[in-house]
Structure 1
Amino acid sequence: MRLATLLLSLMSATALVACAPQDSGATATTQAPAAHPVSGLRVIPLTVQTGGTTHRFRVEVAESAEAQARGLMFRTEMGADEGMIFPYAAPQQLSFWMRNTVLPLDLVFIGADKRVINVSANAVPYSEAQLMSDGPAIAVLELNGGRAAQLGIGPGAVVSW
């Protein structure tokens, strides 16, 4: 009987400890990065500095070849301060098109110094015309069509992510 009582007491104590809140030491800064609800891609902050003004965006990161191939195809909406960045490991001549892309976009080509090289503004939805960087680029930032002009983003603006 004593053995049964002792076992019952130990089991109750174990259950209480298991149900108690645990301090994992996790804070907001150690949580996993946000993921976009449609694409599932990682979302990061990005800033563009131009003319003494800093513009802040939340952008999806198209890191894999698959994510870069899909880009913003088939998407029907994007917030004013949202976008997608396509980073590349080494500077290279970049070429994009708008196949299966519903939204008009501004394609902001970014050089190795993280300055805007050129902007292909208001790219036409569904067009297969090649939109090219004016020189070797390490990234392309896609924004809603007309947004770059609205914010004064052009060659020389500094992009940080």
Structure 2
Amino acid sequence: MHEHMTYIKANALLDKARAKGLRLASAESCTGGLVAAALTEIPGSSDVFDRGFVTYSNAAKSDMLGVADALLNAHGAVSAEVARAMALGAIDHSLADVAVAVTGVAGPGGGSLEKPVGLVHFACARRDGGVDYVERRYGPLSRAEIRAASVMQALDMMIDAVDAAQRRP
């Protein structure tokens, strides 16, 4: 059921982006490429989806997206600040008009009192300006459930950003 909903949402996103001539990218940590997989599962996505960054380590976030080490050190990878920097970095390092970033604690381990399992930060940047941000606390769901819910949230944010974005001239 979840896969079907993801497919429908991803398909709608691709259709909306295609209609405006927009390209998409993803920058993923805890979802490990599942957002990119959801989009590229759909035939014909190559004219819309530019690239996906799977930046699981802090070094990858820094090397591939230009996330500042100082930001990572000050706030940690699972933070609003790093999610925003990842989304903006994905715009800067791609041809995309809209880029989503996902960073969180998918569990079952790795959580803390301050950053519990199920805490996920999302940011979606538009090349024409604006970064949307959402924090979700999914609670003690399974790793697979947290990741699946995170993909849905990321797709929703991209749909909103594409709706708000200007058509490419």
Rg (Cα) greater in structure: 1
Q: TM-score by structure 1 length? A: 0.27
Structure with more contact order per residue of length (Cα contacts < 8 Å, sep ≥ 6)? 2
